[in-house]
Chain A
Amino acid sequence: MTRKVRWGRRNAIKYLAGLSAYAGAALALPGLAAVAAGPTGEAVPYKDASLPLHLRVQDLLSRMTLEEKIAQLIALWATKAEIMADATSEFSDSKTSQAYPAGIGQITRPSDRRGAPVIAEKRWRTSQETIRFINDIQRWAATRTRLGIPVLFHEEALHGYMAPDATMFPAAIAMSGSFDLDLVREVNSVIGREMRAHGSHLALSPVVDIARDPRWGRIEETFGEDPYLCSEMGVAAVTGLQGNGRTLGPGKVFATLKHMTGHGQPQSGQNVGPAPIGVRELRENFFPPFREVVARTGISSVMPSYNEIDGVASHANKWLLGGVLRGEWKFDGVVVSDYNAVEQLHTLHHVVADFPAAAIKAIESGVDGELPDGTAFRNLADLVRGGRISAGLIDTACARMLSLKFRAGLFENPYADIDAARALTGNAEARALALRAAQRSICLLKNDGTLPLAAGKHRRVAVIGPNAAVARLGGYSSEPKHAVSLLEGVQARLAGKAEVVHVQGEVITRSEDRSADEVLLADPAKNRQLILEAVALAKTADVILLAIGDTEQTSREGYAANHLGDRTSLDLLGEQNALLDALHALAKPLVVLAINGRPPSYPNAVAKANALLECWYAGQEGGTAMAGVLFGDVNPGAKLPVSVARDAGQIPLYYNAKAAPGIGPRAPASRNPSPLFPFGFGLSYTRFEISAPRLSAHTIRTTGSVVVEVDVRNTGPRTGDEVVQLYVHDPVASVARPLKQLKGFARVTLAPGEQRKVSLTLDARALALWNAEMKEVVEPGLFHIMVGPNSRDLKQATLEVI
């Protein structure tokens, strides 16, 4: 082979030197030394960390059998059963060697016990069990497989590493509302290090879907409705998880961009529903977050969406994955399937006759790895041998998967250390960050002056509501070391200062088991009884804190027809409005805390509350953060990352719509097209004045940029945060343009009386559109540059582009 000839003496020396560098690790982990050399004892290039990536990949690939290559393209989830000792959840060398002689590419969610015997109340492995499981597998891969290719473990990590003891941060939609990119980066950095400490290297996060339907139960997983905000949040999250560059540093994990695309506007609000979205709409709204992240980070992995776009399922979409993602954007990482989505080409979309055909379709369209079990891809060896798919396609996909493993440093050290993981996971620093994240994500939507409360002023504080005494973490969460409910947060805050009393007043669902398929609302008669109790208690109180909203059951990922999560009505479920009405009738100060993952389309609550806080699922420290906001220790400064509809009849409702007779300035008053709360909206305990925007130049070229300056002044009595938002509008263009588009923002903290100049740079690129020939161009002409505290209350300047 020519490669052997090229493998010169210099490289061999380098290789040996590199080997001795981790001799310590090898000693600690018996078995490694045995595979430091190739099967026949000679040094092998692919194990040489000093060689360029592509050479290592090339070398390794050239040594692999077809079966070994295909092993890299699949994962094990339910099939973890095949690698565990009978009747235990422990890894078994012998069973594994029997079942997977060609090695294992990827393991799905090592922290869950899927595949192991079911034990009630035990869904997860402990930290220690997970690490042992992973290290056992890696050791097996290193010592018991022919080429010693390490295994890639992936985990969910949407707002926390989804495994026991890990820190649970606020839901993505909440984090987005912070409008704080550094915070999102830091949070993801902690998520990444907790996950990495447990031996996993690939996070299935973040979600950068544009969310345009609040009926859709996955809206909580998104950064909201705006392409620019989702782009920036996506870049921050990926940078936090992966770090900069293409290889993983210590404590870093690879990120996966989900779900490309159209997932966030499913037909009729039902999960995985079709997205018959036009090409320009895709390019202008749904693509940007993916494109920006690919352009600005070393993103390793992209996951196509379950849905079809215009008749073509994303896992079978050559144009999307090949033409756009890899072609136009030059993405060179891996495309991993969403769970069971390759199978669904057959079972749901009916575009292929069986699983083998699904595998062909997916791989030909650009899917490299099949999650969670590789059910369809397991047929690939037969398909290659049968001539139904070219071996070249397998090589390409395998090379990408291998490349990821090299970039992850897995060949150098695939192991995790329990002591390090223990020290890191859910530590004080992580808790403090979770608290700060919650504080900065809570959004004040209404306040007649009732908030902030002075601790001790109200002698008896009633904390009521179905979400008062439970720390709701939202979907994709596990069991953190601890979690603080609103009640606990208020009790701690008021200890010694006031009496805190509590009744629930309402039960939303009969069960709190979020994995349960069936969701049953609580018995209305019982709830009416609870409401009476709540009223009786509230009568004795001086102020009422009412925690309402959703549960992890009532809005969630509807991942199957028997596990639904989407809704037709956006308002409060069950008897929550009745509870609210009954408490409102007492004419006591009523503060409503919305705890949910779905935008608060609660017109009745908005009308009746003296103050309304949108807390979202605020993470494990949520209760403390809420108490801090209620009592003025924290001045809320978050904004809404979505438009809030009044009811389902307004859907789709998003601020960056194009002009339509119904929503333009000439719309008839009888048809209320305005949202309950506009995108970008959020109040503070202080007041701000924002000047009109000043432009550094009134005229720029199509390749130029302009600095937009605005003065923000805190005219109120408290230190607080304002998010200055920059929108643009192209008043005349060759194709119809949105009424406004977010193109910049900055969250600033100002002391009372303080004024600060905020400068936002606007590239002409931000003014680009996709013209009639579907070319991205900046068209000369006038542009409106608008600045303000939300998407509605804006001041304007005019920029000319020549």
Chain B
Amino acid sequence: MPQMNDAALSREFLLLRRLAGVAALWLAIGTHVPLAWAQALESPVSQAAAPVYRRPAALLEERVTDLLARMTMAEKLAQLHSGLLTTHRTASRIEALQRGAVNQTRLGIPILFFDAVDNGFRGHADRRVTAFPQAIALASSWDPGLVQEVYGIHARDLRARGGGLLLGPALDVSRDPRHGRVELSFGEDPYFVAEMGVAAVTGLQGPGVAGSLPPGKVLAAVQHLAGPGPSDEGAGPVPVSERELREVYLPPFEAVVKRTGIQAIAASRNEIDGVPSHASKWLLRDILRQEWQFGGAVLADQGGVNELQSLHHVATSVADASRLALEAGIDVDMSDGHAHRKLTNAVREGRVSSARIDEAVSRILRLKFRAGLFEQPFAEHLAAGTLHRRSSSRTALIAAQRSVILLKNDGALPLALAATGERQPKIAVFSKMAVMEGIRSRVRGRAEVAFMKDLRVARTADHIVVVIGEHGQTGRDQEQRLLDSLRTLGKPIVIVLVSGRPHAGVKIAEQANALVAAWGLGEQGGRAIADVLFGDINPGGKLPVTLPRSVGQSPLFYNVKPSAQRGYLFDTTEALYPFGWGLSYSAFELSPPRLSAASIGLDGSVEVSVDVRNSSQRAGDETIQLYIRDKLSSVTRPVKELKGFQRVSLAPGEQRSVTFLLNSHSLAMWDDSMRRVVEPGEFDIMTGPNSIQLQSAKLTVLGEVQK
């Protein structure tokens, strides 16, 4: 065993003992502990008499049934509270723990180690892994293929560290930038979040919808069912109604359940109309399992079980919270099992059925079998330490480049560099960190780059680049003062927003000659931004959220119902920049949409084609977006809904035809009896480069209204 200090050793020992079900066993039936412990440790599984659950060739369900039948209640409970552990440990300790679980417990059930995707693991990380753009930045690429690739690397990195499950991606639909951590979401649109979610899960787990994980893949656990956005502290109450939930917040989860092999879903910590998700049978059983036929495991969010007692006060004690959560459908408590460890008494007193325990344990075992842990419980390639740094970094760079959004440009960008022999332009840069580095290493003697410590530097500069948001909210006043004084110089100002949240203000947008939104771009962010500023990369990102002009417009999102946005006195309902917005150094011409059929049946589908032409002298990317509006419906429908998008790269002068398929799923809605139907009638089919500059065609859906 690797070296450990005493305290760590005893902690690990306790954990192992918990995992063996021994401590619980002692409490439950009063067995003499040393004896049981010794037996557990001294009976490593004999390979010769390999039981069914140890046979890789056996069917998954046979293995689960076999193993479950061998488990004591204490061992089962141990799986519920300690069957999954975080990878927030050193690699050697992860390995030691796994070795203990595999070799030193009676049944040798391996631990499933998990981690959360949080800014490319940067929070707790191992320096060897790659830091990718945050979710909101990746979303800005409007490139599901890229998202899939990045999550593929997440999977490989996690697998290499002994992890088998990744908590993520977050499928929360974020409609309010005040809420939680928007940067960890894919934005405000249900369809868009669903597409990105499917891509991310596919990247993590590999393609396909069933079976075991291929090498280098991990299980995904999408989160948080269901709430308004990721948050550090857990979300506030969400008193939303059922149709709103079904139309806005649930679709990404449903899409992932139906289109990928997702095996785990984490519940949200918020309550919905008085019922916390961790205690919601309706959400976790009626919808998730019955309507969507989800067969995997439902995980608690960190603290989500405890909070049934401590925050929502729907449970009298932690033990009660644990019982409630289990009954509602939470299978595993992820907080190192603090709450689910209290289940023992509830089981003894018959307040939790053993059938429900078996059900939950089976789901955890299934995860472990699917992850291949019984065959390969240890980190892949750990010894070799091959994390493919170079290729990962390249992907991180491409991801960062494709995520940058050009919000405004009056021609100030791209910045020109001197050709040989020319006078070097002077660029004053206000940035302490990565962007400065990126610019410095990019110009290489073709421009003079000066750090702008005061206005004097700016006075003599040809170009001014100001990075906003490196210091979070605290630095904003200082940054604004700097901008105000720079503005008096009358020189073109390029502003780069690097805050993780959509925090552009009206004033900044007005003061900028060019405005670049770069979110949190990960380790290659500085270089990617420099590439965009100097035109090596033609920006093609688009906003996955609406940027409001002021907090007083909140919530501001594009897919509103027709009765929203009557208007304000002395202000506008217009966004600072709308959903889907993003410019390019190129110019594109988009044709109106052409439909393959002017009318279709209720179950029919239609192809929508758009010609897009790069009418400029530069190669560049455009993302063609497809929106629909159901013009007359039994319940109100949004004024537009995204139903398709494609990012295409076009050489100067190149024209291409882009085709979308709209089917009955795209046109469906939840009618006045809460059935999902397509209602006959007219639909506006709208295409364009963002959510406001749209051209329209009319589609008629023929059929009878379902009674």
Same complex origin of A and B: yes
8 A Cβ contacts from B298-343 to A: 311-316
> With A and B bound together, what is the CA distance between A392 and B244 in angstroms?
34
What A residues does B566 contact at CB under 8 A?
Answer: 270-273, 558, 560-561, 564, 566
Nearest B residue to A568 via CB reads B552
Contact B233 A661 (CB under 8 A): yes
> With A and B bound together, what is the CA distance between A276 and B555 in angstroms?
13
B237 adjacent to chain A (CB < 8 Å)? yes
Main secondary structure of the interface of B (DSSP, over half): loop
Interface 0/1 of A635-661, CB less than 8 Å to B: 000000000000111010000011111
What A residues does B631 contact at CB under 8 A?
Answer: 350
Please judge, given known A-B contacts A278-B274, A558-B566, A660-B236, whether A350 and B552 are in contact too, CB under 8 Å: no
Contact A659 B563 (CB under 8 A): no
A532 adjacent to chain B (CB < 8 Å)? no
User: B234 is contacted by which of A215, A349, A658, A661 (Cβ under 8 Å)?
Assistant: A661
8 A Cβ contacts from B561-577 to A: 561-571, 573
Please judge, given known A-B contacts A273-B566, A353-B632, whether A736 and B552 are in contact too, CB under 8 Å: no
User: A276 is contacted by which of B241, B571, B637 (Cβ under 8 Å)?
Assistant: B241
Please judge, given known A-B contacts A554-B569, A561-B567, whether A215 and B562 are in contact too, CB under 8 Å: no
A117 adjacent to chain B (CB < 8 Å)? no
Contact B632 A352 (CB under 8 A): yes
> With A and B bound together, what is the CA distance between A569 and B632 in angstroms?
34
Contact B276 A568 (CB under 8 A): no
Nearest A residue to B565 via CB reads A270
User: B239 is contacted by which of A278, A561, A647 (Cβ under 8 Å)?
Assistant: A278
What B residues does A352 contact at CB under 8 A?
Answer: 632
A519 adjacent to chain B (CB < 8 Å)? yes
Main secondary structure of the interface of A (DSSP, over half): loop
8 A Cβ contacts from B265-292 to A: 270-276, 281
A573 adjacent to chain B (CB < 8 Å)? yes
8 A Cβ contacts from B464-493 to A: none
User: B551 is contacted by which of A267, A348, A649 (Cβ under 8 Å)?
Assistant: A649
8 A Cβ contacts from A517-572 to B: 519, 521, 554-555, 558, 560-561, 564-570
A310 adjacent to chain B (CB < 8 Å)? yes
Please judge, given known A-B contacts A270-B573, A659-B311, A735-B314, whether A281 and B239 are in contact too, CB under 8 Å: yes
Contact A267 B570 (CB under 8 A): no
Please judge, given known A-B contacts A648-B552, A733-B314, whether A312 and B239 are in contact too, CB under 8 Å: no
Count chain B CB atoms within 10 A of each CB in A217, A351, A560 and give the residue with the most: A351
B8 adjacent to chain A (CB < 8 Å)? no
> With A and B bound together, what is the CA distance between A658 and B234 in angstroms?
14
A145 adjacent to chain B (CB < 8 Å)? no
B235 adjacent to chain A (CB < 8 Å)? yes
> With A and B bound together, what is the CA distance between A744 and B573 in angstroms?
40
Nearest A residue to B308 via CB reads A736
**From residue A45, how far is it (CB to closest CB) to chain B in Å?**
41
Contact B567 A269 (CB under 8 A): no
> With A and B bound together, what is the CA distance between A564 and B241 in angstroms?
28
Nearest B residue to A570 via CB reads B552
B634 adjacent to chain A (CB < 8 Å)? yes
Q: How large is the interface on A (under 10, 10 to 19, 20 to 34, 35 or more residues)?
A: 35 or more
A732 adjacent to chain B (CB < 8 Å)? yes
Contact A281 B636 (CB under 8 A): no
What A residues does B670 contact at CB under 8 A?
Answer: 311
Contact A566 B240 (CB under 8 A): no
A307 adjacent to chain B (CB < 8 Å)? yes
What A residues does B33 contact at CB under 8 A?
Answer: none
Interface 0/1 of A253-275, CB less than 8 Å to B: 00000000000000111111110
B672 adjacent to chain A (CB < 8 Å)? yes
B518 adjacent to chain A (CB < 8 Å)? no
Interface 0/1 of A659-673, CB less than 8 Å to B: 111111000100000
User: B562 is contacted by which of A349, A566, A569, A668 (Cβ under 8 Å)?
Assistant: A349
Query: How many residues of B are counted as interface, with CB atoms below 8 angstroms from the partner's CB atoms?
Result: 57
8 A Cβ contacts from A687-736 to B: 730-736
Contact B275 A772 (CB under 8 A): yes
8 A Cβ contacts from B525-563 to A: 550-556, 560-563
**From residue B157, how far is it (CB to closest CB) to chain A in Å?**
31
Nearest B residue to A668 via CB reads B233
What A residues does B634 contact at CB under 8 A?
Answer: 351
What A residues does B231 contact at CB under 8 A?
Answer: 661
What A residues does B316 contact at CB under 8 A?
Answer: 732
A123 adjacent to chain B (CB < 8 Å)? no
Contact B236 A310 (CB under 8 A): no
What B residues does A267 contact at CB under 8 A?
Answer: 555, 560-561, 564
B440 adjacent to chain A (CB < 8 Å)? no
Interface 0/1 of B389-418, CB less than 8 Å to A: 000000000000000000000000000000
Please judge, given known A-B contacts A271-B566, A564-B568, A736-B312, whether A651 and B554 are in contact too, CB under 8 Å: yes
B99 adjacent to chain A (CB < 8 Å)? no
B28 adjacent to chain A (CB < 8 Å)? no
Contact B271 A736 (CB under 8 A): yes
> With A and B bound together, what is the CA distance between A661 and B237 in angstroms?
9
Contact B236 A350 (CB under 8 A): no
> With A and B bound together, what is the CA distance between A140 and B236 in angstroms?
60
Contact A660 B635 (CB under 8 A): no
Please judge, given known A-B contacts A277-B241, A350-B637, whether A311 and B234 are in contact too, CB under 8 Å: no
**From residue A110, how far is it (CB to closest CB) to chain B in Å?**
29
What B residues does A561 contact at CB under 8 A?
Answer: 566-567
What A residues does B233 contact at CB under 8 A?
Answer: 661-662, 668
What B residues does A348 contact at CB under 8 A?
Answer: 562-563
> With A and B bound together, what is the CA distance between A348 and B178 in angstroms?
29
B126 adjacent to chain A (CB < 8 Å)? no
Contact B178 A649 (CB under 8 A): yes
Contact A274 B635 (CB under 8 A): no
Interface 0/1 of A335-371, CB less than 8 Å to B: 0000000001000111111000000000000000000
Contact A349 B636 (CB under 8 A): yes
> With A and B bound together, what is the CA distance between A647 and B552 in angstroms?
8
> With A and B bound together, what is the CA distance between A271 and B565 in angstroms?
8
Contact A351 B635 (CB under 8 A): yes
What A residues does B314 contact at CB under 8 A?
Answer: 732-736
A313 adjacent to chain B (CB < 8 Å)? yes
B243 adjacent to chain A (CB < 8 Å)? yes
User: A270 is contacted by which of B236, B244, B273, B568 (Cβ under 8 Å)?
Assistant: B568
Nearest A residue to B272 via CB reads A278
What A residues does B274 contact at CB under 8 A?
Answer: 278, 280-281, 284, 658, 735-737, 770
Contact A276 B240 (CB under 8 A): yes
**From residue A515, how far is it (CB to closest CB) to chain B in Å?**
15
User: A349 is contacted by which of B243, B273, B563 (Cβ under 8 Å)?
Assistant: B563
Interface 0/1 of A299-327, CB less than 8 Å to B: 00000001111111100000000000000
A279 adjacent to chain B (CB < 8 Å)? yes
Nearest A residue to B316 via CB reads A732
Contact A270 B567 (CB under 8 A): yes
What B residues does A564 contact at CB under 8 A?
Answer: 566-569
Nearest A residue to B551 via CB reads A649
Nearest A residue to B281 via CB reads A772
User: B237 is contacted by which of A554, A565, A657 (Cβ under 8 Å)?
Assistant: A657
What B residues does A659 contact at CB under 8 A?
Answer: 237, 311-313
Nearest B residue to A521 via CB reads B570
B617 adjacent to chain A (CB < 8 Å)? no
Contact B563 A307 (CB under 8 A): yes
Contact B550 A569 (CB under 8 A): yes
Interface 0/1 of B508-528, CB less than 8 Å to A: 000000000000000000000
8 A Cβ contacts from A274-292 to B: 274, 276-281, 284
Query: 7 tightest CB-CB pairs across the interface, nearest first?
Result: A568-B552, A278-B273, A660-B236, A310-B241, A311-B635, A648-B552, A661-B233
**20 residue pairs from A and B, CB less than 8 Å apart:** A217-B569, A268-B573, A274-B564, A276-B240, A277-B239, A277-B240, A308-B563, A310-B242, A311-B670, A351-B634, A519-B569, A561-B567, A567-B568, A567-B571, A569-B570, A657-B237, A658-B237, A661-B234, A662-B236, A732-B316
Given A310-B243, A567-B569, 4 more A-B residue pairs with CB atoms under 8 Å apart are A267-B561, A270-B565, A351-B636, A659-B311
